[in-house]
């Protein structure tokens, strides 16, 4: 069977989306406190889940290519536009630390009942509109420092894919070990019980009460 199928139908989107949302919720990524605890080093779930997923998917793609199931150039590899991607990455990292989500996890937060995810989503739509309005003046920056089309790390370094994947696995394993040690130091990763318990000193200001009046 020749793959990818290049199926962009409703069933394809719903199936992959439902699996994606179900797994992210299971990982605990509907909780903004758990997500941002990665940057406070007390919960390494974001690092652990993301890197193990990258390695599993990369190894699977490599095997599928080696077995001839998918041809070279069969899957989309995003091209580097150095400045725009670096600046965008910085903004998303900063926005994640302030707002508690990224685009995908905001939908997971909403699906877990988090009202703050709605404010984040409205913010994203507003930020996108601001970008569209400023696009004309950003265009030069947007296309600056364009890399070779679909360049991979293995292509850049002149190494075989499997070696890059193996090196990534070693980095991930070392990070995993370091992360587990730091989690222990900070009292362990955030549990579902903790994520669903409003913080103590908020008890007199129930979450969900009209925010604007809480200060009065």
Cα atoms in the 13 Å half-sphere on the side-chain side of 141: 12
The answer to whether the CB of 190 falls within 8 A of the CB of 28 is yes
Closer to other proteins by Cβ: residue 66 or 91: 91
Shortest approach of other proteins to residue 144 CB, angstroms? 11
Shortest approach of other proteins to residue 185 CB, angstroms? 17
Residue 125 in the binding site for other proteins (CB under 8 A) = yes
Quick one: tokens of 77? 């590899």
Shortest approach of other proteins to residue 74 CB, angstroms? 6
Quick one: tokens of 69? 């199931």
Instruction: List the one residue out of 163, 162, 140, 158 whose CA is nearest residue 148.
Output: 158
Residues 136-165 that bind other proteins (CB under 8 A): 136, 138-139, 142, 147, 150-154, 156, 161, 164-165
Residues 36-55 that bind other proteins (CB under 8 A): 36-40, 44-45, 48-55
Residue 128 in the binding site for other proteins (CB under 8 A) = yes
Residues 183-212 that bind other proteins (CB under 8 A): 191-193, 195-196, 198-202, 205, 207-212
Among 14, 173, 178, 181, binds other proteins (CB under 8 A): 14
DSSP one-letter string for 165-198? HHHHHHHHHHHHHHHHHHHHHTTSSPPHHHHTS-
Shortest approach of other proteins to residue 47 CB, angstroms? 8
Query: Angle formed by the axes of helices 82-99 and 116-143, to 10°?
Result: 160
Residue 65 in the binding site for other proteins (CB under 8 A) = no
**Coil vs helix vs strand at 3:** strand
């Amino acid at each position: 069977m020749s793959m990818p199928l290049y199926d962009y139908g409703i069933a394809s989107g719903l199936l992959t989306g439902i699996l994606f949302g179900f797994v992210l919720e299971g990982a605990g990524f509907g909780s903004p406190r758990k997500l941002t605890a990665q940057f406070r080093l007390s919960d390494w779930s974001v690092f652990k889940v993301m890197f193990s997923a990258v390695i599993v998917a990369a190894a699977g793609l490599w095997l599928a290519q080696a077995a001839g199931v998918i041809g070279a150039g069969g899957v989309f590899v995003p091209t580097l536009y150095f400045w725009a991607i670096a600046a965008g990455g910085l903004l998303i990292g900063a926005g994640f630390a302030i707002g508690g989500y990224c685009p995908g996890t905001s939908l997971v937060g909403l699906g877990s009942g988090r009202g703050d995810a709605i404010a984040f989503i409205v913010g994203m739509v507003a930020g996108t509109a601001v970008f569209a309005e400023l696009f004309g003046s950003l265009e030069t920056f947007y296309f600056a420092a364009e890399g070779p089309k679909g360049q991979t790390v293995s292509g850049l370094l002149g190494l075989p894919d499997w070696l890059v994947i193996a090196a990534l696995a070693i980095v991930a394993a070392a990070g995993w070990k370091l992360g587990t040690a730091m989690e222990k130091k900070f009292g362990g990763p955030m549990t579902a019980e903790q994520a669903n318990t409003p913080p103590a000193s908020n008890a007199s200001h129930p979450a969900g009460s009209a925010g604007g009046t809480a200060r009065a």
